[in-house]
Structure 1
Amino acid sequence: MTQDIPTFSDESSDERPSKSQLKREMHALQALGEQIIAMTPTERARFPLSEDMLAAVEETSRIRSHEGRRRHMQYVGKLMRREDLEAIQAVFDEVEQEKRHRDLAFHRLEKWRDRLIEEGDDAVEAFIEEHPDVDRQALRQLIRNAKNERERGKPPANARKLFRLIRETAGL
């Protein structure tokens, strides 16, 4: 979701930006507006958006026709020119950082699940040492069932349950 917010050319310079450059900048702002519209209201609340922009975002959900939506997105792009793009970029960067942290935590939990299924008791002891409040009986039973599923080539229902138990134990 990394977004490069366009930087408008300095109007004080001798050379004006080309029409193509201006169009690229406007399309980038429109794309940025579309990303903000696609977010949940909770995520959107983190962005420093003006009242006009918030109203335009809310209006988007009521537009049904393709042409009407296209024109509305151009309007959103126009409104984006008045927004604090640096502050918006800072929030985008923050959201991206949080997403990376969640993904890393998720991958760590997946590795724990795979390790528990493959290594057995040694991995179970290491996991219990790291998370002493885990339900040991449920953990061992899910590992045993997940191993049986894997050996028989069945869908990984117990592996999913094991992952859920690991995630809840880790507090994620």
Structure 2
Amino acid sequence: MRGRDETTGEYFSPSRSAQRRAALDILALGEQLAAMSDAQLARLPVPDTLLPHIHDTRRITSHIARKRQLAYLAKQMRKLDDTVLDAIRDAMHKDGETARREAALLHRAEALREALLGDAGDAALTDLLAAYPQADRQQLRQLVRNAREERAKNKPPRAFRALFRSLRALLAQEGTGSADPADQPVEDEGEDDEDTHG
């Protein structure tokens, strides 16, 4: 039974429910860590003492044994300072956010490329150049022209890929603002956008 401070009325320790929630939270974090690749783990501030336990958990496939190993991993994690666990959570959150932003950027560049190569490509190019005055107009026009030619003649997609890289770099310069005028041609060319992902 947990004690209570007679003067303030506060409990000396967290309730059993709070302790259980904290334990389940650490167990869930352990599961997430065990599901990550070595490269993903390397980007997180995971202490070296914890890595062998994560690798063991990943290696075990038997359901019961894995559950036992996860519980052991969580027990080892509870020995860590709260600041270490918070740092791991923060890094995971930031990494996830970065990945989402990168994926959104790739989708925008892909959709924009399809808009430029579609039927309304000239209008899309005009809109793009208006939205990004710093863009290399001549290079973009040349890449669009070459990519269209490649498609028409069934050639290897070298200009097609180069156009994508140029668009991605251009969109990355502007950051991730959603109110970007360059999104305009993408919305107009909704069918092309679906084609790229289907």
| Category of TM-score, reference length = shorter chain | 0.5 to 0.7
TM-score w.r.t. the length of structure 1 is 0.68
- CA drift of 1:56 comes to 0.5
Which of 147, 152, 163 is the matching residue for 1:139?
147
Question: What do residues 134-169 of structure 1 show as CA deviations (whole Å, max 9, x unaligned)?
Answer: 534432235668xxxxxxxxxxxx99x94x444333
Structure 2 counterpart of 1:48: 45
Please say if 1:33 is aligned against 2:41: no
TM, length-normalised to structure 2: 0.60
Q: Flag the structure with larger Rg.
A: 2
SS in structure 1 at match of 2:45: coil
Partner of 1:23: 20
Runs of 4+, deviation exceeding 6 Å:
none
**For each residue in 1:120-141, what CA deviation from the matched residue of structure 2 results, as whole angstroms up to 9, or x when unmatched?**
2232456687355453443223
Unpaired stretches in structure 2, ≥5 consecutive residues: 173-198
Relative to 1, partners in 2 of residues 1:44 and 1:120: Cα closer, same or farther, differing over 3 Å?
Answer: same
Deviations 1:11-59 (A, max 9, x none): x951543323322221111111111121121110122222331010111
Q: Which whole-Å CA distance do the structure 1 matches of 2:63 and 2:152 have between them?
A: 53
Matches within 5 A, 1:89-128: 89-116=89-116, 117-124=118-125
More moved, 25-34 vs 121-130: 121-130
Count of equivalent residues? 148
Percent identity for Structure 1 against Structure 2:
27
Matched residue, 1:88: 88
Gaps of at least 5 residues in structure 1 are 1-11, 146-157
2:96 alignment partner AA: E
Aligned equivalents of 1:90, 1:23: Cα separation in 2: 22
Q: Describe the shift of the 1:16–1:27 C-alpha distance in structure 2 as closer, same or farther (beyond 3 A).
A: same
C-alpha RMSD of the superposition: 3.3
